Every structure is written in structure tokens, then in C-alpha cells.
Amino acid sequence: MNIVITGATGFVGQALCRYWHEQGHTLMVVSRQSDKAQATIRVPVMARSSAIDFADQSVGAIVNLAGEPIFNRRWSEAQKKKLIDSRLKATHDVGELCQRLATPPARLISGSAMGYYGDQGSREVTEQTSPHKEFAHRLCREWEEAAQQLATDQMQVACLRIGLVLDRDGGMLKPMRPMFRLGLGGRLGKGRQYMPWVHRHDLVRIIDFLLQRDDISGAWNAGAPAPVTNAKFTRTLAASLNRPAPFVMPGSVVSLALGEMSQLLLTGARMVPARLEAAGFRFEYPTLEKALTAIERRAA
């Protein structure tokens, strides 16, 4: 199948491209640095700087992951605008592409995050749970609404509420592993906040699973079935590295250092993949122990 992917050069997109390349799909990637995309992704792709540039192609599906990294810098008003606008622009261009294609694709799989739900304390969170209104929710809601507006009788739109993506060479483990390896790891605040997570390989398999289904409309929680608290995450990561994690970073210090963005670390949602499990998706890495052990084994 010919598949357009925005954000293909990113942590998730690269793994997705490699997986689909092996399966024989033709990858048409959108990158602001289209001349460098192929070298970054390391499998053959056709790269262009806007989704609209693929209007002369035949497109079977679109995956939309592009956006300013959420944890790049403090959330000033200007940075919040950039976080939202970068995602709305990429999604708008996908819509423009669909308008211009002779035959629009049957599926659009678009990004979102567990931040959609905001701070949910310790209750279980499914796709039906009402969100807590805060900036992360607004960002995800606006991103999802922009994508869902593109749904037509011909094209279904799925929004993936992605948990923290785990693998060795990117995402949150990239800065955390070196700290924990030095024995400098520790929990954040009280450590009771939930951290929904997903192994990157399972996230790629989830996207592939949706590519092959006919009924994908709406939101899907894309996190492993066993989300953990920050305290459990800290203990499990330290154990996977055979190191202690004795420290506690007080919530007040995290808040002072990061401002509003500290919500991402100090609050969370016990998000479970209710829809995926009901649809029969099987996780290769259902528990954090299994995921981190596999990641460390590959890193060795």
C-alpha cells in the first residue's frame, strides 16, 4: 500500500517506516527537511516537505504524527501556541491532500496522547472517561478535532491517545536511562501519579493493526494494559539496570523548574487500552518488566 506519513523522521515514525518497509509498503514521508529524511529513516522513502506535495500520487492510507515536541522547552504562551499550531498545520495539510487526491484514502490514523485525559488521579481511564480540563487536554482535543473533521463516508479517522513511548534510543528513556545507570534515579513527587506507557514496537503494531481494520473511527487508547505509578516505574527501571533509585525529587522543585509543564510529570491517567483489547489486539509487551527487560537486552 502507498502510505503517507507525517512526523516520519521522529522516534515513532522511524520505527513505523522500518516495520512497513519490511512488509513491502511504499512510504511517502513528509518532513521539513525532506532532503535528509531518507538518511534519518534508513529505509527507502519518497520524501516531500508538505503532505500536499503527494497530491499527484495514489494514497491508500495516511498516518499523521508530526508536531513540535511536547517536552522541548517550558510552556510559555508562545511555546503552547507552537505545540498546537504545528499539529493543526500538519493536519490541515493532510486535509488539503485528501481534497486534491483523485481518490481519498480509506483511513487516516492521527496522533493524540494520554494528555487528552489530563489529571485523573488513580481511577481507571478508558476512551469513555471525561477529561480533566488543562493545557495537555486542550492540545490533544484541538488536534483530534482537526483530524476528525476530515472524516468522510470514504475515509475513517482514528485518533491514537498514545502513552509514554518506550525504547532505547528516544522518548523519555533517552534522558532517564543514563541518570538511572549512574544510580541517580528517583521518583517524582509522591510517586502516586500514573504513567501510561507503551513499548515502541507495540505502538507500531497498533498502528499496523488499525491499518488493516475497517472500523477504526474515533479515539483509541494506545498504552499497554498495565499502566504503573511513577514510584513503580522508578523501581522497575532501576531494577532493569541493576541500580538503586534512592532519590525523591519533591513536587515543588519539579514545579519550580518546569512551571506548568511539570503537570506532565506530577499528574497522570491510569489509561487502559479498552478499545484495542475489545478488538482483539495482543500486546507483545503487556507489562513494564517485560518491556524494560527487552529494551535492556537489546541495548547490551
Rule CB under 6 A: say whether 120 interacts with ligand NAP: no
Candidate segments 116-124, 159-167, 186-194, 269-277, binder of ligand NAP by CB under 6 A: 159-167
Grid look-up 511504499 returns 26
Binding mask 192-211 for ligand NAP (x = CB under 6 A): --------------------
C-alpha cell at 134: 488543562
Rule CB under 6 A: say whether 12 interacts with ligand NAP: yes
Of 159, 209, 201, nearest to 286 by C-alpha is 201
Supply the minimum distance, in Å, between the C-beta of residue 160 and ligand NAP: 8
Supply the minimum distance, in Å, between the C-beta of residue 198 and ligand NAP: 8
The whole-angstrom separation of Cα 262 and Cα 8 is 27
Closer to ligand NAP by Cβ: residue 11 or 180: 11
Number of residues that bind ligand NAP (CB under 6 A): 25
Q: How many CB atoms lie within 10 A of CB 129?
A: 18
In the list 57, 79, 86, 148, the residue contacting ligand NAP (rule: CB under 6 A) is 86
Closer to ligand NAP by Cβ: residue 10 or 105: 10
Closer to ligand NAP by Cβ: residue 21 or 248: 21
Alpha carbons within 13 angstroms on the beta-carbon side of residue 103 total 7
Rule CB under 6 A: say whether 65 interacts with ligand NAP: yes
Closer to ligand NAP by Cβ: residue 39 or 278: 39
Candidate segments 9-17, 224-232, 260-268, 283-291, binder of ligand NAP by CB under 6 A: 9-17
Residue type for 162, please?
A: I
C-alpha cell at 179: 541518570
Report the alpha-carbon angle 109-169-61, nearest 5: 15
8 A C-beta contact, residue 227 and residue 270: yes
The whole-angstrom separation of Cα 125 and Cα 196 is 10
Three-state secondary structure of 58-81: CCCEEEECCCCCCCCCCCCHHHHH
Closer to ligand NAP by Cβ: residue 219 or 256: 219
Closer to ligand NAP by Cβ: residue 116 or 180: 116
R_g over Cα of the chain? 19
In the list 39, 42, 69, 124, the residue contacting ligand NAP (rule: CB under 6 A) is 69
8 A C-beta contact, residue 113 and residue 138: no
8 A C-beta contact, residue 288 and residue 282: no
In the list 10, 186, 191, 227, the residue contacting ligand NAP (rule: CB under 6 A) is 10
Supply the minimum distance, in Å, between the C-beta of residue 154 and ligand NAP: 25
Instruction: Name the site residues for ligand NAP (rule: CB under 6 A).
Output: 7, 9-13, 31-33, 37, 65-70, 82, 86, 90, 111, 113, 162, 164-165, 171
